Amino acid sequence: MLTDHGERLGTLKKLAQIQHELVEDKAGAIDTYRQILTIDQNDELAVSALVNLYTERQNWYELLEMLQIQRDFADDVDALNRVDFRMAQIYLEQLEQPIETLEILRSITSRSPRWEPALVTLESLLDQDSVREEVFTLLEQLY
């Protein structure tokens, strides 16, 4: 029996790596990485691995959950923008939710008004009836 969290975490990390990389048991690896997060919710390795696994499996809502956690690891504005932008792309391209996409892009441009990927995506949202007016107003303010 493992006596402390450090030993348990070490064992779980080894198990997850074996499941993921050697035996290609993606579902098992996901479960194991999730167990790691129940012990240490700030384990960047587990979050990063889950981001990759959920991307591969196209589990969009679970991926968004991990990206939300990954936001806390961002050490500068550009890193935060990149994570937020990835979330916006998922909402737009995979889940077809332009309103959520707009809210994230609004957050990015409030921090970085000239951040090119956000501006380009905002311009593409002009084709979406449900957000066209809000996007136009936001772009007017930014330009």
Confidence class for position 1, pLDDT limits 50, 70, 90 = very low
pLDDT of 39: 93
Lowest mean pLDDT among 14-28, 43-57, 101-115: 14-28
Between the CA of residue 75 and those of 37, 71, 81, 97, 133, what are the distances in Å? 20, 9, 11, 28, 34
- The answer to whether 125 touches 135, Cβ cutoff 8 Å, is yes
pLDDT of 18: 92
Between the CA of residue 40 and those of 20, 111, 127, what are the distances in Å? 19, 30, 43
Tell me the pLDDT tens digit for each residue of 62-87. Answer: 999 999 999 999 999 999 999 999 99
Sort 74 into a burial class: Cβ within 10 Å, 0-12 / 13-18 / 19+: middle
